[in-house]
Amino acid sequence: MSEVGFVGLGNMGRPMAERIIGAGYKLAVNDRAEAAVAALVAAGAEEAGTIGELTARAETIFLSLPTPEVVIAVGRSIAANPGVVKRVVDLSTTGPKAEMDLAEILSAAGIALIDSPVSGGVAGAKKGTLALMAAGPSAHFSVVEPMLLALGKVIRVAEEPGKAQVMKLINNICSAAALAITSEAMVMGAKAGLDADVMIEVLNAGSGRTSASADKIPRFVLPRGFDFGFAIGLSLKDIRLCLEEAERLGVPMMVGNAVRMLFSITKADLGADADMTAIIRPLEKWAGAEVRGKAAGA
């Protein structure tokens, strides 16, 4: 079995890399954070100290990186030192333009790109229950599909890299909008004197059910932990990318712009590293009401 490479061992990258090791693949990893690399080495990976060392060993390289700029920079490094690399699988959320640019950079070095952003958060990455949207050449997709299946459910959306990014942005704006409106509604109910746990029970039993009411709010807001595991700054980046693509396509996004406003306010108030579920906190402050479940205690 040929060696596989992995660049980016952050909150999402580390558990995904561990899943690939668990599926029986020989993995070489690269990250600036020494502690993250050490943890993967302890789990069975080998360290590749540089991108050049990685490209000399791995025919397939996975990327899980925080911004389009970082993805492009790493892509250029791979293309400059292609080694034995045949394909790159980008698990990051970059937006379609950056992904198409990445495909062009890699193609010039004879490397194929599989565009495969993921959805499901840190918990899904750990459990192997992510949703993976994939776009790329069939011959290369067939090679990486077994590896992707170690991470979750794989849905192939197109041949051309960039199309999976559009799908991911659509998914993320829907998720962010659900969290925003459900947070507003929960604060309204708390201000009116309704029990937070009862509100969630009613929403999930009826037509108001969303990913926020089913998971994020009961698990991460009602206990007051705000630890879903995805930063508000990264959420806002995804929203921005979606709105930019919608504008390019000539599609109005009135609700999407309102969602961006709430996420921007939360970032300014709590910082970019605050959890995305903390968007409820500015709403609580303005309303003078707190959404607290029984799990939070007195």
145: helix, coil or strand? helix
Does residue 168 have an active-site annotation?
Answer: yes
Give the helix, strand, coil percentages of the chain, each rounded to 5: 55, 15, 30
Bridge-based pairing state of the strands 60-63 and 46-47? unpaired
Contacts 24+ apart (CB under 8 A), 120-127: 120/152, 121/228, 121/229, 121/230, 122/11, 122/12, 122/15, 122/228, 122/229, 122/230, 123/229, 124/152, 125/12, 125/15, 125/16, 125/19, 125/151, 126/15, 126/18
For residue 24, count CB atoms less than 10 angstroms from its CB and return exposed for 0-12, middle for 13-18, buried for 19 or more: exposed
**Annotated catalytic residue: which of 26, 126, 163, 168?**
168
Task: Supply 95's token pair.
Answer: 């937006």
Active site residues: 168
